Structure 1
Amino acid sequence: MVSKIRVLLGMLVLLALALGAIALLAAMKADAIWFTIVPLGILSGGATFVHSLGWFNKKAGG
């Protein structure tokens, strides 16, 4: 079983990065399509990357 805290913290970090990207896009006055592509890319790409490192696969308590 995977530690739920580990997954929650990992996804919160990715969410913070996505929100930062949204703020940066707003400051740059980017087109509306980028507000969808960039945050979803950060969340899905980041989760895939972290999962491939095995960070979400470690057993809870050990």
Structure 2
Amino acid sequence: MLVLLALAIGAIALLAAMKAGAVWFTIVPLGILFGGASFGRSFGWFDKKAGN
């Protein structure tokens, strides 16, 4: 999840450098966080393995 957070923060910095509209500062980071989390969850990356 920290990787997704870092990507979202990087996207905010990139959007600020491009002087993007305000709506993009909401859509893009949330899309990265929610999309990445659902993608990672579907592949089982956040599941704790037994015995660990």
Q: TM-score, normalised by structure 2?
A: 0.91
Q: Distance in 2 between matches of 1:22 and 1:51?
A: 24
In structure 2, the partner of 1:44 is 34
Deviation at 1:56, TM superposition (A): 1.4
**Residue segments in structure 1 that go unaligned for 5+ positions in a row:** 1-10
In structure 1, the partner of 2:15 is 25
In structure 2, the partner of 1:12 is 2
Q: Distance in 2 between matches of 1:56 and 1:34?
A: 28
Deviation at 1:16, TM superposition (A): 0.1
**Residue segments in structure 2 that go unaligned for 5+ positions in a row:** none
Structure with larger RCO (C-alpha < 8 A, sep 6+): 1
RMSD, aligned α-carbons = 1.0
In structure 1, the partner of 2:24 is 34
In structure 2, the partner of 1:7 is none
Q: TM-score, normalised by structure 1?
A: 0.77
% of aligned pairs identical? 80
Q: Distance in 2 between matches of 1:13 and 1:57?
A: 16
Letter in 2 for 1:45: G
Q: Distance in 2 between matches of 1:56 and 1:17?
A: 17
